[in-house]
Structure 1
Amino acid sequence: MRLLLRAIDALSWFALMCAGAILIYAVSHILLETVMRTLFDTSTHVLDEFIGFAVLSITFLSLSWTLRDGGMIQVNLLTLRLPLRVKQTVEFIVAACATGLGAYFCTFLWRNLIKNWKRGAVSESVAEVPLWIPDAIVFAGACLLVLQLSALTIRPFISKIQEG
């Protein structure tokens, strides 16, 4: 079980590194576009679309590590005042529900990905990017989030087993 948790963490870390690489690409593209427009009065003509895809990719690829690292915003106004056992139970229930809802959301992402793949749908820009590519990145990020949420639900039990 610990090996599975480590694998989920490793995949989440890899996705975070991919998000970082995409961020570097996005900044580079913006700088290139600025230079091209300013000095050469021309454009790549795909900046808006590619930066939109980049922001979407960065967001979804970084979600699972952000959750793992404790960086997600938590509204804990009520749980701060609860006894430890009750707080842990509430957190377990919330994580389990979020896992289920996330998995359900992934089914819609998967359907959209397959639909765009089968239809050969492309973006409406000059680049005509196959839409399954950003769909696949979003789907992968959402699945990693679901895996990390499921790991969040079982981690407390694994630490209790190790203690006992």
Structure 2
Amino acid sequence: MMRGLAVLARSGLWFGGALILLSAVLIGIDVFLRKVFVVSIGGADELAGYALAIGTVWALGATLLDRGHIRIDSLYMLLPAPIRIVLDFVGLILLVGFFALVFWHGLGVFEQSWVSHSRSQSALETPLVIPQAIWLIGLAMFLLVGAALFVAALGRVVRGDRAGVAGLIGTRSAAEDVAEEVRAAERRR
């Protein structure tokens, strides 16, 4: 199950990255047209805003699986393993819980947009349910990944696999970061 979610999350990461890249290209073209021909692509900033919001949430799941979310670990590494595991679970619960609240409130905004047929206040007049739905799907994917990660980590706790828990939800160590960079450099050769 985790492999399937990892593939889904990695696909979401690529989708989000492609959206952000396309928005950067669109803004570059718009800036060029404004400077050279004194014309503008109407709505480029609006589309870029949607791309940034959607791209960000679609990347959250892959970042969670890669243990790439930022945590302050100054004291963390000095604590005994059982306390670190508890803190890892607390951190995961708080992160996923926060985004569950964002998702819940986002559903309310989506529902209001749907009922009132809301459109953006730009020349594009984008029906807001379209970017909101894509954004909510990305958030739902993140919540699914977070819940599955919690269950998998809990299973490892029950089996007594502390190293496995740390590998799933713990803070990445400097040694792990260095090893990852070395592997990436070797793949580029």
The amino acid that maps onto 2:150 is T
Spell out, residue by residue over 1:36-75, the C-alpha distance to the aligned partner (whole angstroms, 9 max, x if none): 2233221112122111111111211111111111211011
2:1 equivalent to 1:18:
no
Pairing 1:1-164 to 2, within 5 Å after superposition: 3=1, 5-159=2-156, 161=159
Percentage identity across aligned positions?
25
The amino acid that maps onto 1:75 is I
- Report SS of the residue matched to 1:42: coil
Q: What is the match of residue 166 of structure 2?
A: none
Distance 1:42 1:75 in 2: 46
Asked if 2 retains the 8 angstrom alpha-carbon contact of 1:9 and 1:65, the reply is: yes
Distance 2:23 2:107 in 1: 26
- Report SS of the residue matched to 1:95: helix
Q: TM-score, normalised by structure 2?
A: 0.75
Distance 2:83 2:58 in 1: 32
When the two chains are superposed, the root-mean-square deviation of aligned CA atoms in Å is: 2.1
Shift of 1:145: 2.1
Give the total of aligned pairs. 160
Distance 2:97 2:25 in 1: 38
Distance 2:140 2:75 in 1: 29
Identify the structure with bigger relative contact order (alpha carbons < 8 Å, sequence gap 6+).
Answer: 1
Distance 1:108 1:94 in 2: 21
Asked if 2 retains the 8 angstrom alpha-carbon contact of 1:95 and 1:150, the reply is: no
Q: What is the match of residue 180 of structure 2?
A: none
Q: TM-score, normalised by structure 1?
A: 0.85
- Report SS of the residue matched to 1:125: coil
The answer for unaligned runs of 5 or more in structure 2 is 162-189
